[in-house]
Amino acid sequence: MRSRVLSAALTLAMSLVGVAAFTSSAHAAACGDQLVGNGGFETGTAPWTQTTGVITAGTTAEPAHAGTMEAKLGARGTTHTDNLAQTVTLPTGCSSATLTYWAHIDTKETTSSTKYDTLVVQAGSDTLASYSNLDKNTGYALRTVDMTRYLGQTVTVKVTGSEDSSLVTNFVLDDFSLTTGTGTPPDTARTPINPAYTVNLTSNTAGDTWTGHQSASFTNGSATPLPEVYLRLWDNYHGSCPTTPITVTNVTGGTASPLSVDCTALKITLPAPLAQNQSASIGFDLKIVVPSGADRFGHDGAYNMIGNALPVLAVRDGAGWHLDPYTNNGESFYSLISDFDVTLVHPTSLLTPATGTSTETTSGSTTTTHATAAKVRDFAWGAGPFAKISGTSNKGFKVNVYSVSGISSANATSMLNLAKDSIDVHSGRFGDYPYSELDVVLDNNFWFGGMEYPGFVMDLVSNVALPHEIAHQWFYGIVGDDEYNSPWLDESFTDYATDLYRGVTGSGCGITWQSSAEKLTNSMAYWDAHSSRYSTVVYNYGKCTLHDLRRLIGETAMANLLKSYAQSHWYGVSTTAEFKAAAQAAAGSTDLTSFWASHRVEG
């Protein structure tokens, strides 16, 4: 549960994306076909759509790559945006899909550091490539983009150029081609599987600096060999790359590459590729420095919140490695079910609520907290002079509430009772909470409302936010999803669960789309570019969609659908396509095709 105004730089970059469309051919395409119509622009503008004048004849100064016609975006030296467009249906069962085009960029800009003029290429809301005046080149360069992940889908490829108020940049494109391979379809298995992390860290007096060692064992669950793994160091977003709060050194079990994705991804090449079902392990020294600020990774005075600080293994599937950037507007934290064994050595004056089940051993002024957590997606903890109260729910789940100073004992007790009740109610709807305890950390300075981790949530004193964060134990925690590319699969479902818990029926909740590009199933790349609409659509329209589905198929069918769907994806990963299929099965003879279309649930 997150909401924040997007950074100016990312908003600017994403606002440059325009509309373009590849129109599908009259006959169904087959593997091996070339899918782009009029890729060299030699037969006029159709089937492209464009800003007037983008498709134009080449000149001596700006010649076409081949033939006489080209697409030229920018080229004015004034503030404006140019669009180019085509939509294509990629066939299923192909081994690959590759988009290629030739690009020439020249500019009058003299800077060597500032992106004044930009070009963005997208498929749907996914950014495929981006260029700027900094990418100027002599002559044409062939650009290649892997589009294998879109096989079996109809996608809109978007090409948009934007210039600022002065100094012209020409983005010249020609000879587009989108071809599919005819060999074996890609391996879609998610890997590496069965990660097991062992962590030993010692803190300083304040609990805001931790040093020690971490290791990770894993297995290749894919038929495709695994030559490398990636660690996600998401909290390095909070630093200024290359100066980062999470530092990994002395890597063993593989060869580390330089940090990438703004220092949030670390590639480790294995000594030899792992075959399917083979296992390996890596190790490294780790240092964590918690920045100032009441954040999911930050310290509010003496109270440290340490979420997403432990490096975890990235996921590879049929689309390749998922190395999406950190988003402060929502979540990027896509990971597979793992086991954690974490030892935290710290001053006895600091309490350390944490994911999993903890035992403590004290020797003088030092306490060792040993936390174990099986079948969770990540691990978080806190450190500070919290006040603590505990209780047990009617179903037998232990709940601990940790409060910063300023939270009254009455409010802490109220939140404890709310947590005990909501964990029981959610268990009844989706299946029993599978962990032995839940830690709730309360701080009314949290700007984001609340944040979820397995067995560990951060929250304000709120009768609405806390049931929402606890519902995340099921939707994202137990039933996983790709939080960056499919945020609705946890936030919409969790907000719907919160409504059910609070007795809110969702009657009369209206959905009004702001643009044709706005869809419930858009990724965080889209919502980061349209941050003011993120909560409205993903939270409000998302839960409205599920309320509308309940009214359409009936109360009993909907209740059975959600419980059976959770059970069938327990400790797994949910996708939009799988949920739509399960919902259609629950709906029986009621065809949901128009329902998905009107609610803009695609995938």
Q: Which of 69-78, 131-140, 317-326, 432-441 has the lowest mean pLDDT?
A: 131-140
C-alpha to C-alpha distance for 395 and 296, rounded to whole angstroms: 29
pLDDT score at 450: 96
The H or E element containing residue 187 is none
Q: Which residue has the higher pLDDT, 400 or 7?
A: 400
pLDDT score at 137: 86
Q: Which of 578, 586, 592 lies closest to 486 in space, CA to CA? A: 578
Backbone angles phi, psi at 286, to 5 degrees: -135, 135
For residue 22, is pLDDT > 50?
no
DSSP string for residues in 249-261: EEEESSEEPPPBT
How large a percentage of the chain has pLDDT more than 70? 95
Cβ-based burial of 593 (10 A; exposed 0-12, middle 13-18, buried ≥19): exposed
491 touches 523 (CB < 8 A): no
**Tokens at 257, concatenated:** 């590459």
69: left (phi over 0), alpha (psi -120 to 50) or beta: beta
pLDDT score at 8: 30
Q: What is the 3-state secondary structure (H, E, C) of 327-395?
A: CCCCCCCCCCCEEEEEEEEEECCCECCECCEEEEEEECCEEEEEEEEEEECCCCEEEECCEEEEEECCC
Longest dimension (CA), the chain: 83
pLDDT score at 94: 86
C-alpha to C-alpha distance for 312 and 197, rounded to whole angstroms: 8
For residue 581, is pLDDT > 80?
yes
pLDDT score at 186: 66
Rounded to an integer, the average pLDDT of 36-61 is 94
pLDDT score at 17: 33
For residue 20, is pLDDT > 80?
no
Edge-to-edge strands, sheet with 97-107: 55-57, 69-74, 169-180, 97-107, 141-146
**Tokens at 369, concatenated:** 């907290």
> Is the pTM above the cut of 0.85?
no
472 band by pLDDT with thresholds 50, 70 and 90: very high
575 touches 486 (CB < 8 A): yes
C-alpha to C-alpha distance for 25 and 219, rounded to whole angstroms: 42
- pLDDT, one tens digit per residue, over 355-372 is 999 999 999 999 999 999
Taken as a whole, the chain contains a residue count of 603
DSSP string for residues in 37-66: TTTT-TT-STT-EESTTSEEE--SSS--SS
**Tokens at 238, concatenated:** 């909070």
Q: Which of 374, 372, 497, 356 lies closest to 438 in space, CA to CA? A: 356
Q: Which of 196, 259, 264, 253 lies closest to 228 in space, CA to CA? A: 253
456 touches 380 (CB < 8 A): yes
The H or E element containing residue 434 is none
